[in-house]
Amino acid sequence: MLEPFLELFPDVAVGYVGLERDEKTAKASSYYCKLPNLTEKVAIVVDPMLATGGSASQAIKLVKAESPHSVILVSVVAAPEGVAKMNEDHPDVPIYVAALDRELNEKKYILPGLGDYGDRLFGTL
């Protein structure tokens, strides 16, 4: 999802928060974080799929620690559970999604969803 944002905002500074979800617990753990200076800037957090909201919430907590003026979350698809988690943890962060799907299944995957988008994106199937 980075390339379209770079086309729209070619002078933007890019950071990266790497989070990996444990398939058994559906909890994310951080393996990498490198952010540019965000002081008093607008930070756009891009997360392809907002399922449980855990990863997005963790990433936004890290971003907020860098004192941005504001934070925005952009996702392709979301589940109501993820939106609820974000509204609970970060009510000040607007969420923009292309589609709001119906629910999460027992594995915490979005239904009907897109499959495991992260693995498809990074070729880690």
Catalytic residue numbers read 21, 25, 116, 119
The DSSP-derived string for 31-91 is EEEE----TTSEEEEE-SEESSSHHHHHHHHHHHTT--SEEEEEEEEE-HHHHHHHHHH-T
